[in-house]
Structure 1
Amino acid sequence: MVSLDNLANEITSAVKTYTQDVTNGIEKELDKTSRTVTKDISTNSPKKSGRYAAGWARKKISDGVGVRYISYNKYKPGLAHLQENGYAKRGGGRVAGKPHIRPVVDRELPAMVNRIKSIIRNGG
């Protein structure tokens, strides 16, 4: 039984617990999804020498608001958008792009959003 004097404290405590559980659940989901996305991008990357495909990594960025993960190519960072979108050749003509980043993101993002909604509904 909670007295009226302690009701506000109990509600505050319950909200803090819910918030922390949801935050932890979302961070775990972001970590899991970023691992999957980075692995799939690497698997689907064009492989001439293999260095570009092997260079995919992810970075966790924590700021005061939350956590973000960024997938990037540590060996050939300037090549990703050229491989994805294609480019104009110096002597004329174009090299066609080989989409390997956007398809993975388009597939994983909606599923991640649904899992995060479930985490919020279930309280963590």
Structure 2
Amino acid sequence: MNVDSLAKEINRQLALYANFVEEELDAVAEDVTSKAVTKLKQTSPVGDYAGGGQYASGWKVKKQKGRYIVHNATNYQLTHLLEKGHATRDGGRTRAFPHIKPVEVETNKDFEKELIKRISE
């Protein structure tokens, strides 16, 4: 085997591995974001301040330019207000309902764990 054929074979194997990793990355991202949406639907606040349940049911995932984005399609305006709380007209503050950050942290850990698991098999 000469050096040129060895280099071509190494490049071919690296390209195959890169394609494999890319496919696994996409599959893991899709799985993990679907689970995140389910978790957000379960943990989102429900009540008059949250649209009576429309907010919780509005969580969706969309793929845009190769990225998976979890968003609230029905009441996106409420995400920050409910997560962090906000000032009221009388100078007080509303209660915060932290429901996005815990799911984000869990999803990031799950993504990393699952990707490492799938790639190392």
User: Which TM class, normalised by the smaller chain length?
Assistant: 0.7 to 0.9
Matched, 1:85 2:84: yes
Which has the larger strand fraction?
1
Provide the residue aligned with 2:111 in structure 1: 112
For residues 81-108 of structure 1, what are the alpha-carbon distances to aligned partners after superposition, in whole Å with 9 as ceiling and x for unaligned? 0011111111221111111111111122
Total equivalences in the alignment: 116
Provide the residue aligned with 1:38 in structure 2: 37
Which has the larger helix fraction?
2
For residues 10-55 of structure 1, what are the alpha-carbon distances to aligned partners after superposition, in whole Å with 9 as ceiling and x for unaligned? 1111111011001101110011011011111111111121111111
Identity %: 31
Matched, 1:61 2:60: no
Cα distance in 2 for residues equivalent to 1:115 and 1:75: 30
TM-score (norm 2): 0.87
Provide the residue aligned with 1:28 in structure 2: 27
RMSD, matched Cα = 1.4
TM-score (norm 1): 0.85
Structure 1 moving runs of 4+ over 4 Å: none
